[in-house]
């Protein structure tokens, strides 16, 4: 997905938020702001918003001298997600392990980072979000492909969300499932270290993309990831960053996300905050 004008003030706002998360030192916050403005000036050089977002967060990491400014947020995020794991498992059981509900749980996890930033109660929010219908739901295509698939690749997004993805993956039986995470800490995205905290290793093989972007930049990915990606019968991509970087790839992909920004919502022809499960066919 190309960078839209509206992505630029958004990246700048994110840099201001990220600088405050990383440091209380206003001089460092200022350095981050100034360097992000320089980065925005070069927006035409970026392939997609995830690519640009990566460089912005590298500015935050460089000036704050923190390898992982979001480590505490990610750990809290996972802890809170694990606290609702039992509730979600029993919720899905009540729904007879229906695949739409399993997908919905995984999609709802994409909302989890918002609850952290706004101090909302996770369980209350999730209960409300679970009952919002998908705005696009290509579940028939998914079920059809799933019945014949051997190898499935999930591409993870935020840290706590992985607990929700675990519930979806646990509901899919007898498949060879790989779960790809970020190669290095970037924003609040899941990395190898945190993936083990979520317990997803019990139901999927964990690999990294080989790339430090909050998305998938193919020319920076590891051979292991590229091989898994190309050989998978199903690729399921979680969240906005993965969509931004994969939307124009030639292979078929299922995108599962909450449209948390107007640009993404518009890309799907839907409204802000809608839940999307969209199949993109081979091109």
Task: Enumerate residues 3-62 that contact a second copy by CB under 8 A.
Answer: 5-6, 8-10, 12-13, 16, 29-30, 33, 37-38, 40-41, 43
> Considering all CA atoms of the chain, what is the largest pairwise distance in Å, rounded to the nearest integer?
56
# residues near a second copy by CB under 8 A: 16
48 vs 212 by CB, closer to a second copy = 48
* Residue 105 Cβ vs a second copy, minimum distance, rounded to whole Å: 33
Single out the residue of 72, 74, 73, 42 nearest to residue 56, CA to CA: 42
6 vs 248 by CB, closer to a second copy = 6
* Residue 204 Cβ vs a second copy, minimum distance, rounded to whole Å: 38
* Residue 118 Cβ vs a second copy, minimum distance, rounded to whole Å: 14
Secondary structure E strands in 49-190: 134-137, 151-155, 176-181
Query: What is the H or E stretch that residue 268 is in?
Result: none
Sign of the four-CA dihedral 2, 207, 88, 139: positive
Beta bridge pairs of residue 280: 253
User: Using the rule CB under 8 A, is 136 a contact of a second copy?
Assistant: no
4 vs 175 by CB, closer to a second copy = 4
25 vs 41 by CB, closer to a second copy = 41
7 vs 159 by CB, closer to a second copy = 7
Q: Three-class SS of residue 255?
A: strand
| Distance, CA of 205 to CA of 255 (rounded, Å) | 20
* Residue 15 Cβ vs a second copy, minimum distance, rounded to whole Å: 9
Would you say 151 and 175 are in contact if contact means Cβ atoms under 8 Å apart?
yes
Contacts with a second copy by CB under 8 A lie at 5-6, 8-10, 12-13, 16, 29-30, 33, 37-38, 40-41, 43
């Amino acid at each position: 997905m190309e960078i839209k004008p509206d992505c630029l003030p958004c990246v700048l706002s994110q840099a201001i938020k990220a600088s405050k998360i990383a440091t209380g030192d206003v001089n460092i916050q200022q350095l981050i702001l100034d360097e992000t403005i320089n980065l925005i000036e070069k927006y035409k050089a970026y392939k997609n918003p995830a690519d640009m977002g990566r460089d912005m967060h590298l500015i935050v990491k460089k000036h704050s001298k923190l390898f992982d400014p979001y480590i505490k947020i990610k750990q809290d995020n996972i802890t809170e997600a694990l606290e609702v794991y039992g509730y979600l498992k029993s919720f899905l059981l009540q729904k007879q392990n229906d695949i739409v509900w399993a997908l919905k749980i995984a999609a709802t996890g994409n909302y989890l980072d918002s609850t952290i930033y706004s101090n909302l109660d996770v369980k209350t929010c999730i209960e409300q979000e679970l009952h919002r219908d998908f705005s696009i739901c290509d579940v028939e295509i998914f079920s059809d492909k799933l019945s014949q698939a051997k190898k499935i690749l999930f591409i993870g997004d935020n840290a706590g969300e992985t607990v929700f993805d675990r519930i979806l993956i646990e509901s899919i039986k007898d498949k060879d499932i790989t779960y790809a995470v970020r190669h290095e800490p970037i924003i609040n995205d899941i990395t190898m270290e945190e993936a083990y905290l979520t317990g997803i290793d019990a139901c999927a093989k964990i690999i990294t993309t080989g790339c430090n972007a909050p998305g998938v930049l193919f020319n920076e990915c590891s051979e292991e990831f590229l091989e898994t990606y190309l050989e998978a019968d199903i690729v399921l991509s979680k969240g906005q960053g993965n969509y931004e970087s994969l939307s124009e790839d030639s292979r078929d992909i299922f995108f599962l996300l909450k449209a948390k920004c107007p640009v993404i919502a518009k890309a799907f022809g839907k409204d802000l905050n809608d839940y999307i499960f969209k199949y993109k066919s081979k091109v």
